Amino acid sequence: MNKLVSIAIDGPSGAGKSSLARRCAAAFGILYVDTGAIYRTVGLAAFRRGLDRKNEAAVAAMLPELEIRMAYNGEGEQRMFLNGEDVSAAIRRPEISLCASDVSALPAVRAFLLEMQQKMAREHSVIMDGRDIGTVVLPRAELKIFLTASPEARARRRMLELEAKGTPVSFEETLQAIEQRDAQDRGRAVAPLKPAEDAVLVDTSDIGFEESFQLLCGLIRDRLGLEPAEGKPCGS
Ligand code: DC
């Protein structure tokens, strides 16, 4: 049996983690785990209950009522279920982003979700993206990548994404939301967003998606000795 491998990709929101991780996972035939989606599911539950999301006792009291499940369809797309309901679309709403960031600062929430994430890596080869994967969740990952980009570059990308979805927002508003979430995710006491000491830093401010993808493919090949799955080349 082949040895399982873990690849950790951490970084701030909008640096391109999820699209790059998804594409790398498809190229190398590894499972992609989006841990932000799990925090978003808890954030959505707190939002729906109208809880003060910074009140640890209130949020912790809700946790035993939550049954959170991840499932994958044939294309390897991750769906999130909250007490049996498919909430994959609901957790993407912009107002849920800050809810997720709020609840993710609470130690009780992080402890509640830690085992679920580590179990995935015990059972599958994974490319897992988040904020603390290389530092806390999978400190022994074979490859750790810290993906970043300037706040302006990330705001521009997010703006174009939302525009394409037909929900345009201003650059200033987007930049402000990104800076607010960065400050919260970096400044929290538990598992703050920061590169692991042995992470490879990749700044995508001035490079496009394809170039970033090639760079990550190269790292996976060189560091792990993996080759892309048949029919899923890394490209040129
Ligand atoms: O990656 P994302 O934007 O979907 O994540 C939503 C929030 O969840 C993010 O602001 C911080 C939190 N998060 C976290 O604290 N740790 C993770 N491993 C993943 C996400």
Query: Is the CB of 10 within 6 Å of ligand 1?
Result: no
Q: Which protein residue has the closest C-alpha to ligand 1 atom 15?
A: 104
Domains in the chain with CATH codes: 6-224 (3.40.50.300)
pLDDT truncated to tens, each residue of the chain (236 aa)?
Answer: 468 999 999 999 989 999 999 999 999 999 999 999 999 999 999 999 999 999 999 999 999 999 999 999 888 889 999 999 999 999 999 899 999 999 999 999 999 999 999 999 999 999 999 999 999 999 999 999 999 999 999 999 999 988 998 888 899 999 999 999 999 999 999 999 999 999 999 999 999 999 999 999 999 999 999 998 876 777 65
DSSP sequence for 147-210: EE--HHHHHHHHHHHHHHTT----HHHHHHHHHHHHHHHHH-SSS-S---TTPEEEE-TTS-HH
Query: Is the CB of 102 within 6 Å of ligand 1?
Result: no
Query: Which one of 32, 103, 104 would you pick to mutate in the ligand 1 pocket, going by the greatest count of ligand atoms within 8 A of its CB?
Result: 104
pTM metric for this prediction: 0.93
Instruction: Report the nearest atom of ligand 1 relative to the CA of 10.
Output: 18
Query: Is the CB of 22 within 6 Å of ligand 1?
Result: no
CA distance 112 to 81: 16
Query: Which one of 39, 113, 145, 181 would you pick to mutate in the ligand 1 pocket, going by the greatest count of ligand atoms within 8 A of its CB?
Result: 39
